[in-house]
Amino acid sequence: MNLKILFFGDVSGRIGRSAVVKILPTLKKKLDPDLVIANAENIAHGVGITTKTLQELADAGVDFFTSGDHAFDKKEAIGILEDKNSLLIRPANYPPGVPGVGAKLFEIGTKKVLVINLIGRVFLKNQYDCPFRKADEILDEFKNENLSAVIVDFHAEATSEKNGLARYLDGRVSAILGTHTHVGTDDWQILDGGTAFVTDIGMVGAKDSILGVDKKGILKTFLTQISEVHEIPEEGICSVNAIYFEVNPKTRKAVKIKKIKEEVKI
């Protein structure tokens, strides 16, 4: 039997969390996924992660969480990431000594699944380690495990960097899914080597917004060049973007990929 995985893009704020809570039961009934993953770096009012917001999504049925450049914006995240049993990982190519781990192995029945979180360097302000070399290191670390699937969340800005890593890892991982830009791309596909790929999944966030943020403040910044506090709409229509894919556990190759794009009124 194929492993069936549902992966939500960046969940932004309360409206995004509420949308996942509302739509996930329907998606589970329809798709019957073995594993549900979400990028959680924006779940706490659009910036960072808290214990309460993470638990809300876990209670809704999300099994595991990845993150990105906002992983440490809330102080609570350090304690969450330091917990050995945490359902949250942060990008693996943060410098050595940073709290948490960037890859985690867990079991679904008799099958072992490795989830890896990486972050890009192009157009991002921090000086992260090389995601390409870090991916090599992690795959080498787990090479003796009998893995059924390897899933990568690549949290990156540049489409070229995302496409580059996808081609670099093609055939060595089951899926590499882009997050961060909040804008979904229409290039979901299975690459020649059997890796499921999309440049960016897109967000779970307010539809009438600018990347999930209230449009008024963002427009004012564009017009005046004066920074405004980012406010996250808490009600209205929420865009839900996710990727569903299936992996043959014997070959670790993807055999199906599908875009999920829904709208939920909150």
Residues catalogued as catalytic? 70
Opening angle at CA 88, ends 254 and 131, nearest 5: 60
Q: Supply the DSSP symbol for 128.
A: P
Q: Where are the beta strands (DSSP E) in 126-215?
A: 147-155, 175-179, 189-190, 196-198, 204-206
Alpha-helix runs per DSSP H in 74-116 = 76-82
Residue ranges in 101-257 assigned as alpha helix (H): 131-141, 159-169, 215-224
Q: Which residue has the tokens 């794009």?
A: 261
Amino acid letter, residue 47: V
Burial state string for 252-261 with b = 16 or more CB within 10 A and e = fewer than 16: bbbeebebbe
Residue with tokens 């509302």: 22
Euclidean distance between CA atoms 117 and 155, whole angstroms: 8
Tokens of 266: 């909150």
